[in-house]
Amino acid sequence: MSALHIKKGSTRHSAYNLRPTFSDVQERHTLAVLVENEPGVLARVIGLFAGRGYNIESLTVAEVDHTGHLSRITIVTKGTPQVIEQIKAQLGRIVPVHEVHDLTVEGPTVERELAIFKVSGDGEKRVEALRLADIFRANVVDSTLSSFVFEITGAPDKIDAFADLMRPLGLVEVARTGVAALLRGD
């Protein structure tokens, strides 16, 4: 497994974090990209993914340091190890990009996503939806006599599971924010 002998920490870029094999296995990685919050920076990041044919499973962005004008872009992407390394290196080339972190490698992480679900129905289905929402710690943020809007936060697979349960109970519409993620510990 040590074919590359790459020293970690010699550069903020990824070439020293390469894993040894050119495997065909698709991996899901969560990347945190700290960028200068200047016009067009999101277009640069998205354009890179589109232009080079990489996948974006989810993407969130917001300014996280108002004095330093730094935004944090969290990207969930899928690819072979070699493609993942290319994505990180290519992101690192973008001039307003300050840091690229592969949280999946640097992990463990806390990943959270917020979603809101509209579920409509009546009778037993309506009661069941409310009961499941309680189990999932989803909050009711809007209610009519024939519908609920639930707000739920959690890891993406928890939200997927909640969606699966709501579907037979009258799920009408879903909105999800995409993943925000941080490393655990200090």
Partner 1 sequence: MTREMTGARMVIQALKDQGVDTVFGYPGGAVLPIYDEIFLQNDIQHILVRHEQGALHAAEGYARSTGKPGVVLVTSGPGATNAVTGLTDALLDSIPLVVLTGQVPSFMIGSDAFQEADTVGITRPCTKHNWLVKDTDKLAAVLHEAFHVATTGRPGPVLVDIPKDVQFATGTYTGPKPSASHYQPPVKGDVEAITELVAALEKAERPLFYTGGGVINSGPAASQLLRELVESTGIPITSTLMGLGAYPASGKHWLGMLGMHGLYEANMAMHDCDLMINVGARFDDRITGVLSSFSPGSTKAHIDIDPSSINKVIRVDIPIVGDVGHVLEDLLKIWKSRGRKTNAEALVSWTRQIDDWRKVDCLKFAEDKKTIKPQYALSRLEALTKKYDRYITTEVGQHQMWAAQFLNFEDPNRWMTSGGLGTMGYGFPASIGVQMAHPDALVINVAGEASWLMNMQEMGTATQYKLPVKQFILNNERLGMVRQWQELLHGSRYSQSWSEALPDFVKLAEAFGAKGIRCSDPADLDDAIMEMLAYDGPVIFDCLVEKHENCFPMIPSGKAHNEMLLGEADTEGAIQAGGAVLV
**Which of 88-96, 105-113, 114-122, 140-148 is the region at the interface with partner 1 (rule: CB under 8 A)?**
88-96
Q: Which of 55, 78, 92, 153 touches partner 1 by CB under 8 A?
A: 92
Q: How far is the CB of 14 from partner 1 (least distance, A)?
A: 6
Q: Which of 64, 95, 175, 183 touches partner 1 by CB under 8 A?
A: 95
H/E/C letters for each residue in 150-175? Answer: EEEEECHHHHHHHHHHHHHHCEEEEE
Q: Which of 86, 120, 147, 153 touches partner 1 by CB under 8 A?
A: 86
Sheet strands (E) in the chain? 27-36, 58-65, 70-79, 97-102, 109-120, 139-143, 147-154, 171-176, 180-183
Binding mask 24-43 for partner 1 (x = CB under 8 A): ------------x--xx--x
Q: CA-based Rg of the chain, rounded to a whole angstrom?
A: 20
**In Å, how far from its chain's centre is CA 110?**
11
Torsion of the alpha carbons at 156, 162, 163 and 168, rounded to the nearest 10: 160
Helices and strands, counts by H and E, the chain: 5, 9
Is residue 51 close enough to count as binding partner 1 by CB under 8 A? yes
Is residue 96 close enough to count as binding partner 1 by CB under 8 A? yes
Nearer to partner 1, 36 or 151 (CB): 36
Single-letter amino acid, residue 9: G
Residues lying near partner 1 in the complex (CB under 8 A): 3-7, 10-11, 13-16, 18, 22, 36, 39-40, 43-44, 47, 51, 82, 85-86, 89-90, 92-96, 98
